[in-house]
Amino acid sequence: MSGKPTSWSADHVRKFLSPNLQTQGRVARGTTALLLSIAALISIRISRPLALIFLAASLFSFYEAWRGWCVLRACGIRTRV
């Protein structure tokens, strides 16, 4: 290696993956995950690939709620309410 620091150093990754949601955001992610799970159950009769997409999105949202971490916020995207 050239000894040049990469843009994805261990500190950068640690900061990127650190919790960035408070209670309200966690509840919102949990609610989204629940709705996506319901959508997966309903859509399984229509299209299995669509149901798998809903299921994957649901599992990721559950992870975000459990971890208190949002990928969009980690990327610097914030909403103003």
pLDDT in tens, 7-61: 678 888 888 878 888 899 899 999 999 999 999 999 999 999 999 999 999 999 9
Measured between alpha carbons, how far is 66 from 59 in angstroms, rounded to an integer?
10
Measured between alpha carbons, how far is 57 from 59 in angstroms, rounded to an integer?
6
Question: Mind giving me the DSSP string for 43-78?
Answer: HTTT-HHHHHHHHHHHHHHHHHHHHT--HHHHTT--
pTM for the complete prediction?
Answer: 0.78
Q: How far is CA 54 from CA 13, 36, 44, 62, 69, in A?
A: 27, 6, 10, 12, 20
Residue count of the chain: 81
